[in-house]
Structure 1
Amino acid sequence: MAGVNLQGLSKHYGEFQAAEDVNLDIADGEFLVLLGPSGCGKTTTLRMIAGFIEPTKGRITVGGADVTHLPPWKRSTGLVFQNYALFPHMTVAQNVAFGLEMRKIGKAETAEKVATALDLVQLGHLADRYPRQMSGGQQQRVALARALAFQPDVLLLDEPLSNLDAKLRHEVRHQIRNLQQRLGITTIMVTHDQEEALTMADRMVVMKDGRVQQLGTQRELYDDPNSEFVASFVGRSSFIKGRFQNGQFVSSGGITVETDRRLVGEAVLALRPERVTLAKGAGMEPQGGNTYRGQVESISYLGSSIDVEVRLNETDRVIAQVVNSGRHSGAAVGEEVSITFPRDVPVFSASAA
């Protein structure tokens, strides 16, 4: 196994910067997720690591060796494509063997490695089937077995779960994570699904416009995002816009908020729904923190929880997450309620949003 280092990695198509000055140090055995919207540069970065895209500038090392200009088959990286890229006329075993044959590995060793890889993904009993005879989840595992068959130092996953339904996606992501931990293989995955990133990664990289916006653990990015963009992309937030006046944040709607952060000028305050406490009825107003009266504008039933959107004034709206404890949970649309949230919520300068 080996770590991966990216130094100033960039890819330009004319004046368009698909990736710009990406610097990452991925530890041996780490599971890193590149997260961001379509067009943010995450897949371009992954494909440069794999060798399918030539960088405009920068350097890629794997295990300390410079692989920047090596072709894919000379890098010890296994790539699982978004659409799996299985050959329909080949059996499962033949698909898994394809990369080994391209590397001129002997037949006996190839057969052994194919059997081992299929056993890893629990598909050894389906070696003679064709892709069309398999479910989406099984095809995904065949693609994973093919990437692992030659025992690469680095496993690369390009949106590997995007073609699966929600239930199967949940199952397969746990299978991939468990397999990665068991093998101890350095893994880099691309996704736009924040839930996948939060449940699978050791660390996450949020990208936008070809650049890294923030790197850290799930807790760091969720609890301490460095911009409105990161706060909006990792988890959910209500945003209150305003400006700092005399050391206090005053919203566009005129409410004054006590915060632990002191900025200058226009700013944006981010509130996670679970950090907002909702109360209703006489004498039930919460004590301490920032407490405001408002009216319930909408309710979203999410199963185990309920989102209650509260309008504080014509401009400011906040979502409070309420645990679903029965039919009387939450509040009714139009009902007067109070909300409270703490001082230590993220606040960003408007220029950093």
Structure 2
Amino acid sequence: MTKLDEYLKRPVSELVADSPRLVSQEEKERHNIYSLLLMSMVAFNWNSNKRSVDDSQKPSHSKDYGSNLLLSTSEKPVPRGKFLKGDYLGHNIAAFAVDRDGSVIDFDFNHNEIFNSSTQHAEARLLNRVFSLNQIYDSWNVGPPPKDTSSSYGQLLQGVTIYTSLESCAQCSGIMTLGNAKEVIYLQEDPGQYKIGNIMFRLTESNDPHRKSLAPRPIPANTFGFNYYSVLSEKFGEYKNATGNSSITSFLCTEAAFLVFLEAENEFYDLANSGLKFPDWKAKLINGSESRLSNKGVLEECLGFYKYFAEKGRRGTPH
């Protein structure tokens, strides 16, 4: 009996439910660092205009909820957001990949509007980029070639975690499945995706102790107590009620959304000064060994990557 046959006899709620997973306090801290980095990257490259550099094209409903322009509802200029106006670089949705040792591989953003295509999502672009980098043994943190360069493309993403700011669609869930990514952690729920990641994970589950499912395990950020997950859902609900617009990408161009990402960016900065509760903890790998980076090493990695991103890794370029 296939998994599909099995679930045809069970409630749909079981198929779409989040997969239960126990997360230790040490691991929660680790996920928190990566998640704050991702939100900081989005805040840094924030775009207030959804469609183009022409601010006159803001949605007609913007007067009911405050303008689509971030500066219009503030007496003083908003302090962050590199592209608040005049330089359109795509939707405010980003993703990056982390290898099994805890190192950030690279990032990408959604660029649907730039390429006039509905397929240019952050996760899809990211995976294509990771495969390309593997061909030339390159990374943002240039160092010696990896010891093992013989892995095929089908094995490249085994053990890799994808962090994305918005729940993945069917296309990106499929691409991550084909790439054998380990898991995908998303920082905001997208009701328009109908839990497709959960469905794919459940329908491809196996008894293999080393590979629980062919699809990556979708992990909502509230699983590890990431407060901004619920805050973004709350703000999106307020936006829908006030405007009648259920477009999550429109919401992600508002000042209300930007201020949430800005708060996360400030928290990310504070981590460098406040320190960690579990600095020496390392993640356990499937083979029983530990990741190379401790939580302290992860924080240093993320701070270094953010500096690279802000100074050299301009979104929409080969960075």
Structure with greater proportional helix content: 2
Q: TM-score, normalised by structure 2?
A: 0.26
Which of the pair has the greater relative contact order for Cα pairs under 8 Å at 6+ separation? 2
**Rg larger for:** 1
Q: TM-score, normalised by structure 1?
A: 0.24
